Structure 1
Amino acid sequence: MFYLLFPTLISVASSQSVKVTLGPLREEQKASTYVGNIASATSISRDVTQIEFTTLRFDFLDPSDRETHLFSINGRSGALFTQTMIDRESICPEMEECVLKFDVTVSSEVTAFLRLVEVSISIMDINDNMPTFDTDEITIDPLPTAIDRDTGENSVQKYKLVSPSEPFSLNVEKTLNNKFRVSLVANSVLDREKQDRYTLLLTATDGGPQPMTGTLTVHVNVTDTNDNSPTFTQQDYSYSVVETAGVGDVVGKLTATDKDIGKNGDIRYTITFPPRDTRGRTLFAIDQFTGEITIKSPLQYDAGKTFDAVVEAKDQGDIPHIAEAAVTLTIVNVGNNAPRLEVKLQKTVFENTVLISEDAKNSTFVGKLTAVDNDPGASGKVDCFSAHPNFKTDNFGEYYAIIMNGSLDREQAEKIDVKLVCTDAGSPPKTASSTFHVIVSDINDNAPVFSQIQYVANVTEENIVGKQILKLTAEDPDAGINRVFTFSLFPKENSVFSIDRDSGILKARTTFDHEVEKRLNVIVLATDEGHPSLVSTATVVVNILDINDNYPEIITRELRVPEGGGSMKYIGKLEGSDKDSGLNSELVFSMPPTSDISGQTFKVNPDGVVLALQELDRETRDKYILHLEVLTVLVEDINDHAPFFHFPTQRNKTVSFLWSMPVNREITRVNATDDDLGENKTISYFISSKYNKADLFGLDKTTGVLYLRRKVKDTDDQNHRLMIGAQDWGVEPRESEALLEIIIDVTNATFSALDGRDPEEKYILIAGGVAGVTLLFSVFILVIIFVIRRGNNSRSSVPPGKEPDWQLVKTGIQEECGKGEVEKVVAWRGSDADIEFKDFDEGEPDGNFSLHSQPDVTKIGIDGTSKKCLGEGSPWNSGKDGGLQGQVVLGLGSDPYRKHDFYTFCK
């Protein structure tokens, strides 16, 4: 294991910039090898207290750097380890010195402590590579041998080179099958550049008694081998170029020659800068054929700099030879230039963009800004600042630290563009700028917000269990999971109300009684799913509305009065009560007509005042019993309000959807309300047919959901105007209309052809379906009407002799009678009265019923056409009806709350 040898603190400036060198680190060490400790090497561990040290965080400035991929750092202790096995030859090829450099930030999670550490690690070479040849083997073919058809001694016995044979000789070998292998051997090095051709005479002699000799003339062409290296005209070149030179201009030209021919003498040039000199490679290039050094990019930001490079001249032989020459390139400063900026951001999500949480504390380190200006004197002094108020730059000497200068709020700005500006001190000053982007990540810092702090809902008593009371809405400005919330009740155990956790619909779990509880309060919670979760509350006030479900009572049971006083003497005032509220508790007193002495002696006014009709004499009679009742006045609803649209409205009437929306998908939802009650309040929605000729849209008559009936075609208009109607369910229905404008978004739209069916066939199918549904609906309506008619005609009359006990009872006023005509409402229950109903059809000219009671109420007739009741001789006809003296207009109907023995008479 190879450990840190000598960490060296290069400088600790007051600007909080630190340079440290670790190593040397031997290559080929296994992963997780300890390299050194940033905290101890920089004396940070000694500069802060132990408590503050526990708040420090060690991070790589740019984790995407090639060098940082090789290492890992302990964020708490500052210990540095290898991330993988390091191969020096891969990261520093053919370099005598291999030093890896990267930046580490040290910041506190609590305080404003910040250090930037420039780390250098020297990688030491080990002998882990062996020398190699370019090829593993090489083969030289032998010379051809002579052919002799003789055998034995008469065959070829020897070979000889006839003079001049220099510089060659023969190598003759006899094989096991008495054959010869002849090779031509060069006795000295051949130099093509001195002699490129030799002619030799090869003889072959047999062993016969009279030896015979054959000859072969051998021409030896000396082919070129790559035995010469290119040669530069000089070993060192130096060129100067002004900073204003343009891209493509030639700085200088290097020339090399090679004595070889062909590809062995074909030279290519390359220029190489030191591995750390990335700027030189950006500024200069060389033409591989001509050796001309040219400018690749503008030079003004590097004025005054000198760049050293090596130019190689390499031939194209199979085993190429290379020559090198040193080149010095100097950029001459001829004027004042703007600074050159380089920004390095910490933890970038993509190019030039950093992700910062909105809860990041003030002074959080963001990145590093380097400003370079090579101009001389004041023109080279640079000052930098941030143009965004939430960020600032701190001068660390050779560079600036970009840090936060305030808090961020994602709900106010999700993306921030930060502009950094640097200006030199020249005259006139030159300015350069660079902009990076900040994406503010969300934290759960906002609770859901209800649309109202307090909701008020009205619910009629004796409601249906499960009835929707109202729908609560809320919004959460956070993002992602932090903006997802659910509704609940507080306390959670609630036997009166329930709420849907997702939709916020509040429902009743029980039946309310206005006389027991007139108002209920419930607290609703909206809780998001962030960590930690945030909660907001809203109060719902539920008013329990009264219905006329209680009989009135007379509290006064006895009145005392001195005798005498004459006619119309004030006896007293009756007190009564009704558990109901409002109009349902307003009482009218009366005394039913009677023939006994009490009825002839006293009069009861509607307000409860009792008067004597004649002088009272105790000696004649000291006690009277009056049979009294009270009457509750109830105002019932008529359909006097048309539906009112909340959407669409004149100011808000436009919606849009994408052309590719699926069929039957909701586009929007229209909404209207009606201030009436019951069926007068129930609304059905429809589209005026003349505005939906393309049959593209459908409207749910109950929910008001507008949806797409079919796919959008390329022949459809992009803009549509629909007249939406809303009609209540009253006997004489009222309706309202509102204009809805629809825009079909056809961005990047491509329409596919219709399917195989003929369009006319489609329309026939659609028309048939609509006709079938209409027929079924009509049959359904007719059945309902028939059932209702049979129910009306089945009402039986009260048999003679079974007269009910009639007395003054409570009933309601029908608004249909006309508000100006209503005087009072009565019904009787008496021992000598009977009521008789005769069946009638509202289409017949004269359906009637009769009420037999006192002589002053003789007959009430019903005009079946006008649906009005005509009565004669009413005892409460005060003549206020003008021309209707002696005749009263009455209406008959059952009590809306269906209480037994309740009937409504209206004038």
Structure 2
Amino acid sequence: MLIAALALVSLHTFAPRCSAANVKIGVPENYDGIFPWYLAKLHSLPVNYSDLVVSGDDEGIFGVDAQFLYALKPLDREKQPSYSLQVSFRASMQRQSFTVEVCVNDKNDNVPTFIEESMRGSVQLGLLKGIPFMQVEAVDRDDRNTAHADLRFSLMEQTPRIPSSQMFFIDSITGEVSLTEEGASTLDPEMCGRYKLSVMVKDMAGKANAFFTTGIVTVEVTGNTWASPDPVRLQENLPGPYPIPISQVKWSGSQAEYSLEGEFPEMLFTISREGVIYLNAPLDRETQDQFQISIVVERPDGREIAKPVELRVMVGDTNDNRPTFPQAQYHTVVKELAARGTEILTVQAADNDDPKTDNVRIFYRLVGQIPESPRALFRVDRDSGVISVQADSMEGTAPQYTLTITAEDAKGLNSSCTVVVTVQDENNNPPVFSHHEYGPFHIPEDASVGTTVTAVLARDADVRGGDSWQVEYHLESGNEEEVFTLVPDKQTNEVSLVLSKVLDFERESEYILVLSAQNPVALVRGRYGPASTATVSIYVDDVNEGPILSQSHYEVTVREGEEPGRVIATIRGYDPDSHPIRYSLQGDTKKYFSIGKYSGELKTVQALDREENSTYTMEVIAVDGRNSSLSASTLVTVQILDVNDNSPVLVGDYSWKYLCTPRWEDQALVLASRDSDGPQHGGRLNFSLRSDATVRRNWKLTPINDTHTNLSLNIPHLAPEVYTVPFTISDSSSPPRSTFINLPVTVCPCNVRGNCKVAAKQLQGMPTIQSAVGILLGTFAVIGTILVVVFMRLSYQNPKRPSQTSQERVPLKMSI
């Protein structure tokens, strides 16, 4: 009982718990312990019950003892995998029952076996690697849902081992046998027509402790009907009915499906399950003259069994295409003097039928001509399509003809085109003048350039508008200086003789021009004679002409301050009629200049000041001495060259400005200067302090640009006072001109905002109001005295000139 209890505890722990109504118990098969074998406690039984009955057990294996279900013998899962027991009992005066299911758990107690004792298969030549040709099958009586029945196959040995020891492969799970890559490429029934394969099957997924069984598989190597069929030749446009079978293939091995691949329209070719290939529509050789069809063989799962085979379909030609010209209309030219037989154009039609057959042989015919002619003018070669001249000459014919040419094949299929033939005029007539001499023509010497002298015409008998009719004119002689030019009119062939240069009677009073007329293309018959040349006589009439100046503009330079009366330029001119010329000035409003009436010499009347005006522009008028209405003019520009005659000056009022003490950083008085001279002398102005140790200790000058500088304290502190700062301003000339300046500068204490704080007591050195008024009155008195003295001296020097013009008054310059 102790051993049984231990077995019971083990089984009870192993068994799954079920609901109160149903109990499920799992037990192992082939139990070899002590019996009765207690399986599990039935918790659904009450403590007190009676009349217990177990049904569903025909063999009387199971029973119940004190609420425990037991078995009297071992269970075999392969014989019966489960038992459904109905347990009924009486309790509390009522009949009750519940179901107990006993599941027999599998043990690996069965060896796998092959289904067939003699396993045979056949492999077809041409089969691809990995494609199964047979399957080895085995069974295991153990539970298939467990590893006990999980079978694995392996290939143990191959006999014979030729041409390789690894010709075959077996899938370890499915048992499918296929060729290896080496086997697919070297399989040869003549070398070996039968192989024996030793195979093994193991359970437990092939583990080392698994049960196994071995067997022999016999593989026969067979030939195959899978090969490329013979090429097929089909005529285009077959009448049908469709589909038409054209070839057949056959895979001699296992079940196979076929499909077609290639460059052809969908459904043009199809293949049946039996491998019969059909044509489903008419073929057109001109669209495609042959087809290369790949035939694919596959297993039902879509895997290719063998390499595809090829079917070549060639399309035969029928005469179903008419010859056509590459263009509907052609244009060509024939010369009017072309000889009989001259080829003028070749027309070629094309036929899309097979060029290797007579279906493409083409014949040409001339079937129409517009306009018609009384004699045959053209012909076309029947075989080559060469169009040539049939007439002896094309002279006197229409300028253009339209020919209709047909191209026809042997079956009578045809098409046509038109050829437009233009009869080209040839230059067999030279142009001729109606007169041998033209003129004389009179033209005044002042005629403007572009004046037409005359127009002449040389007539040409060739066809109007063509190159043979066009006339080119040339002046052969008399126009060596190119005074005249020819202007042709291409529409009328008339030419105008036009003046291209100004005439001069005094130089040339008569022109005799030789004019020739020729065509732009060479003469093919005849030559140019005297009638193609004419003479044009032209007389130039004299006209009084105005003077001519040598320059339209004069540029003159004069240094300022030079003595008056110097000749600064000479205006030169001449009169074509040799008349004298008179010169005069216009625009010199201040009368600074004069010009010689007949010499044209331009002089200064008074000294010039560049600072007053640096440029003078005036006009010189040259007038014909006999006819004042004839004149010419030129502009004269006089540039005054600068000399260093002005000293630089200080510009601005600095009396209200100040500097703070103690010194404020970056505080300075900006001093400005100016020099009236030009940049050459007064471009850069230099400020320098007087050479005094105290001045240079207290003050500092810092240049800003060419005309401005900063004045600032050079020491941190300076006593509040009005200081006189002495410095010099010099220009950049050599030698320089300088101006000495004593500048009063106020230095005062400043508040935080930088404003000067003026104390109740005046700064030392600052003038009082009384002293300022006295200084001012004294200054006016001195100036007045000086003016009186100056005016008195002037009056004594010029006693006979009571008045002066504004131009002669010179402002008084004074330096203080």
The higher radius of gyration belongs to 2
TM-score (norm 1): 0.29
TM-score (norm 2): 0.32
